[in-house]
Amino acid sequence: MKTKHPRRVRDQKDSERYAGSPMGVASRYSPLADRTVTAHWGGDNSNGHRGIAKARRGAKKYVNSRIRFREKAALRQWAADSNRDDDGSM
């Protein structure tokens, strides 16, 4: 198969290549767990790497799962503390 482009030619990875790439942050605060979870994305979004939209979605999923985990743990701790207080008052 004939091609009009040279094969195996890649740009050198340097900091100037990624200078124009948008960076982003996904952050969320949970008052129940009293925590803030943050995730960053950006950098190399070309040449077969994840695109910006997929990186953003992955960061959002990470933040939501960590918040869910922290709230669940805080709720368990709160329930254990309230049970301990109820047992001690009798």
| 36 beta partners | 29
Confidence of residue 90 (pLDDT cuts 50, 70, 90): very low
Kindly state the tokens that stand for 11.
Answer: 């740009």
In a domain, 61, yes or no: yes
In a domain, 66, yes or no: yes
**In terms of pTM, does the model score above 0.95?**
no
In a domain, 48, yes or no: yes
Structural domain containing residue 58: 24-88
In a domain, 12, yes or no: no
- Residues ≥6 apart with Cβ < 8 Å to 84: none
Rounded to 5, what percent of the chain is helix, strand, coil?
A: 40, 15, 45
The yes-or-no verdict on residue 6 having pLDDT over 70 is no
| Residue 53, SS3 per DSSP | helix
In a domain, 72, yes or no: yes
**pLDDT tens per residue across span 38-88:** 998 877 666 666 678 888 899 999 999 999 999 999 999 999 998 887 776
Identity of residue 61: K
- Residues ≥6 apart with Cβ < 8 Å to 32: 71, 74, 75
